[in-house]
Structure 1
Amino acid sequence: MEFQLQIPTQIIVGKDCIGKNAALFPSFGKRAVIVKSGSAGKNGALADVVKMLERQGISYHVCDNVPPNPSPEDVAALLGYAPGFDFVVAVGGGSAMDAAKGVAVLAVNDIGAMELYNKNYEVKPLPIIAVPTTCGTGSEVTNISVLEVGDTKKSFLSPDLHPAIAFLDARYLETLPSQVAVDTALDALSHCVEGYLIHDSWATELFAERAFANFALYKAALNKRSFTKDELELMLFTATLGGIVINMAGTSAVHTLGYPLTVQKNVPHGRACALTLGEYVAFSYDAKREKIDRMCTLLKVNGVEGFKDMIGGLLPGKPEISKEELEQYTDISAQAAIRKKNAKPITKSDILNIYFASLLG
C-alpha cells in the first residue's frame, strides 16, 4: 500500500472560534481582502470576520458577492490584479472558497484569468483563511479550485492553495435554507464515496468511514429538512472530512458527470453529483464489493439498492432532461471522466448508461 497524506490546514472548530482565535490573524499581515458569498452577511460570518479584523487593527477590502459557479473571468472581476493585500479571507460555500483561491493567485500575479490553469505561478499565492458556511464543499482543506469554463467546470490546483486556517463554526449554518443544507450534505457524501472507492489506503478509509457513520446519524434530519445545532455541527465536520478525503484521493467520474448538469441545467453542484452517485456505485460494485458493502453497513442502508433509495429520497426530483441532452452531456464529460481515477475503468458507453439510468430511469 502506497499513499501520501498532507493536511497542512489548521482546523479550528467551535462556537465563536474566530473571535476566540483572533490573535492568529496578525501573523498573516495588516491588509486582508474578503471574498464572500451573498449569504455571508445574513448568517453572521462576515460580521464576525470584520469585527475580528478591526479589533486586530487589520485593514480590509470586501469584494462584491461571488456569483454561484463562478468563472475565471468572474474571479478576475472580483479583484483583478490589484496589489497591496497580504492575505485572503474566504467566507461562504464552495463558490466563495473556489473564487478566493483564484483571487489569491491573481492578486499577486500579473496574468490573465485563464492562466490560472497554468498552475506554475511566478509569485506564491496569498495565504487563505477559510470560513465555510455550508456543509458540503470541503474546500476549506483542499488545494483545488473548480470554476465554470464553457459547457462544464475545470479545476486548477497548487500546494500553496491549501488554506492556512479553516474556522468551523456551525452557527453559520443555522440560516442555511433546508434544501441547500441537503444538497451540500450530499456533496460531502459524494466526496467520501468517490474517494473511498478510488483510493485504497487506511487514511481514506479512516476519514470516509467516519463520515459514513456520521451521515447515518443525521440522515433522518436531512429527510425532515430540520436540524438541531448538534446535527449542523456534525454535518459541517463531515464536510471537512470529505474535503480531506478528496485532497488525498481526488474525485471520480461522478463529479465530471455532474458539471454539465450544473452549467446547463442550473442543478446545484451537490445535487448534480448525487443524481448519478447511486448508479455509479452500482456500476462499481463488482470491482469494489467489499468496500461498498462496508459503506452501506455504516450508512445503515440495505445494500446498493438501499443506497440508491436513500439518495433518491433526499433529492427534490430530477431535472427535465431529454435523451439528446444526455448524449450531449456525455460528449462534454466523457474525455475528462475517463481520465479520472475510477473504481474500475469506465467507457463513454458506460457514462451514457449511467446518465440514462440516473435521469431517465
Structure 2
Amino acid sequence: MNFNFYMPSRVIFGSGSLSKLHQQKLPGKKALIVTGGTSIKKYGYLKRLEEELDKANVNYVLFDKILPNPIKDHVMEGASLAKKENCDFIIGIGGGSSIDSSKSIAIMAANDGDYWDYIFGGTGKGKAIPNDPLPVVAITTTAGTGTEADPWTVITNGNEKIGFGYDKSYPYLSIVDPELMKTVPPKLTAYQGFDALFHSTEGYLNKMASEMSDLFALKAIELIGKSLAAAVKDGNNMQAREDVAMANTLSGIVESVSSCTVEHSIEHAMSAYYPKLEHGAGLIIISKEYYTSIANAKVRDEKMVNMARALGKKDASKPMDFVDALVDLQKACRVDNLKLSDYDMKKEDLPAIAKNARFAMGGLFECDPHNFTDDEVLSILEKSYK
C-alpha cells in the first residue's frame, strides 16, 4: 500500500451549516465575496452570507461577474479589486465556477503578473508562485465539482481551459449545506451529479489511484447511483440531496489524492471552444464512448466491474456492464438524449478540439490507464456527435 494523503480544508457538512459560519474562526476582517449569476441573490443565499459576516464583524466587498465557464479576465479583475480593497481573504459562494475563481483570485491577489504566468499546459509559462494565496472560504450551492475539498481551479483563457492548483490553493474552510442545493433545477442537478460521478470514476481508474482514493471513489459512485435520479426527480428530497452532496465532497477528496483522465481533457477542450456547453453536459455526451474505449482496451477490467456494482448493477461481471449501468442512470435522469448540435457545435471543429485536449490538458493523458492517440480522441468526439 502506497499513498500520499493531504486534505487540509476544514469541511462543515450538513443541512443548515451556512448558519454556523459566524461561529467559525475566519481568516481575516475583510472579505471579497466572489459569485456569479442571479440565483445566489434570487434565493437569498447572498443575504444570508452577509448576515453571517455581519455577526462575525467581518467587512466585505462583492464581485459578482463570474461566468459558468470562468475566464482569466475576471480572475485578474477580481484580484485587482481584492488588492484595492485590502481584503484579507476570499469567499466563493455558488457552484464550482465561483469557488474555482475564488482560488485563482486568491493566488493573484497575493502575486504580481498575469495568472497565465503560473499555469502549466497550453501557453502557460509554468512559473513558481512567489507568495502564498489569500485564504479561501468555499460555500457550495451545487453538488458537482468537489472543489470545496480539493486544490483545483479550472479557468478559460481564449481556447485554453486548464485546471491548476497546488497545496496552497485548498480552501481554508468549506461549508457544504445541502439545503442550499434544493433550488438547483433538475437538469443542472443531473449535469452536476454526473460531473461528481466522473471525478470519482476517473480517479478510480487513474494510474495515480491508491487504496485511499479507491475508498472515497467507490462510496461516491454508490451514493450517486443510489440517489442522483431521486434528487433530479424531486429537488426537495433532502435525503437524496444529502447523498449527492456527500458524493460530491468525496469526489473532491478523490481529486486531491488521485486525478482526472482524458475524459476531462476532452470536455475542457469542448467547452473552451463552446463556452455555453455546461461542463457536466459535455461529460455526459462523451461518457459512453470514453468508457467503452476503456472497456475495450482491457486495462481496468476488475475496476470497471466494481464501478458497475457500486452504481447499482449488482450482477455485473464484465467491463461493459459499467457502460450499461451508466447509460441506465442517464436515462433515469433524463439526460441520455443530449446532443452537441444543441450547442451549435460544428462537426468540422472536432479535429481542432481533439488536438486542443492534449495541448491544453496533456497531463491527464499521462494519468489515463489507456494510452489514447489523437485519432482515438477524435473518434470519441465523432461517435458522440449527434
1:283 matches 2:293: yes
Structure 1 gaps, min length 5: none
Contact preservation (8 Å) 2:231, 2:241: no
Q: Check whether the contact 1:73–1:113 (CA below 8 A) recurs between aligned residues.
A: no
Deviation larger for 119-128 or 176-185: 119-128
| TM-superposition CA deviations, 1:237-290 (whole Å, max 9, x none) | 111111111111121111110023223332101111222222222211210000
Structure-2 separation of matches of 1:119 and 1:15: 41
Measured in 1, the distance between the counterparts of 2:361 and 2:370 equals 12
Counterpart residue type for residue 158 of structure 1: Y
What per-residue deviation string (whole Å, max 9, x for no partner) do you get for residues 121-142 of structure 1?
Answer: 2221111110001110111111
Q: Secondary structure at the match of 1:353?
A: helix
Q: 187-196 or 213-222: which moved more?
A: 213-222
Cα distance in 1 for partners of 2:378, 2:234 equals: 32
TM-superposed CA distance for 1:226, in Å, is: 4.5
Residues 304-349 of structure 1 deviation map (CA, whole Å, 9 limit, x = unaligned): 3413423542425212144422222112213455542102211111
Aligned pair partner of 1:100 in 99, 102, 109: 102
| Aligned mates of 1:224, 1:17 — CA distance in 2 | 24
Whether contact under 8 Å (1:43, 1:174) holds in the other structure is: no
Q: Distance in 2 between matches of 1:60 and 1:25?
A: 16
Distance 1:25 1:45, change over 3 A: farther
Identity of aligned residues (%): 26
**3-state SS of 2:281 partner:** helix
Aligned residue identity for 2:381: Y
Give 4+ residue runs of structure 1 displaced > 4 Å after superposition: none
Matches of 1:312 and 1:15, distance apart in 2: 27
Find the partner of 1:127 among 129, 135, 156: 135
| Change in 2 beyond 3 A, CA 1:145/1:107 | same
Tell me, in whole angstroms, the C-alpha distance in 2 between the residues paired with 1:196 and 1:75.
31
Which amino acid letter does the alignment assign opposite residue 345 of structure 1? Answer: N
Q: What CA RMSD, in Å, does the superposition of the two structures yield over aligned residues?
A: 2.0
Q: Which amino acid aligns with 1:48?
A: R
Which moved further from structure 2: 95-104 or 218-227?
218-227
What number of residue pairs does the alignment pair up?
359
Say if 2:10 is the partner of 1:10. yes
The question of 1:29 aligning with 2:28 is answered yes
State the distance in 1 between where 2:44 and 2:118 align: 31
- Cα gap change, 1:43/1:244 in structure 2, threshold over 3 Å: closer, same or farther? farther
Correspondences of 1:129-278 after superposition (within 5 Å): 129-198=137-206, 199-221=208-230, 224=233, 226-265=235-274, 266-278=276-288
2:47 partner letter: A
Distance 1:338 1:32 in 2: 35
Gaps of 5+ in 2: 120-125
1:180 is paired with a residue of what secondary structure? Answer: helix
Give 1:33 deviation, angstroms: 1.1
What is residue 333 of structure 1 aligned with on the other side?
357
Distance in structure 2 (CA, Å) of the matches to 1:217 and 1:16: 23
SS at 2:189 equivalent: helix
- How far the C-alpha of 1:111 sits from its partner, in A, is 2.1
Q: SS in structure 2 opposite 1:29?
A: coil
Shift of 1:229: 1.3
Q: 1:91 aligns with which of 90, 93, 96?
A: 93
Deviation at 1:153, TM superposition (A): 0.4
Change (3 A) 1:276 1:337: farther
Q: Using the alignment, how far apart are the partners of 2:138 and 2:96 within structure 1? A: 10
TM-score under structure 2 normalisation?
0.87
Amino acid paired to 1:245: V
In the other structure, the counterpart of 2:307 is: 295
Please tell me the residue identity of whatever aligns with 1:242.
S
Counterpart CA distance in 2 for 1:222 and 1:229 is 8
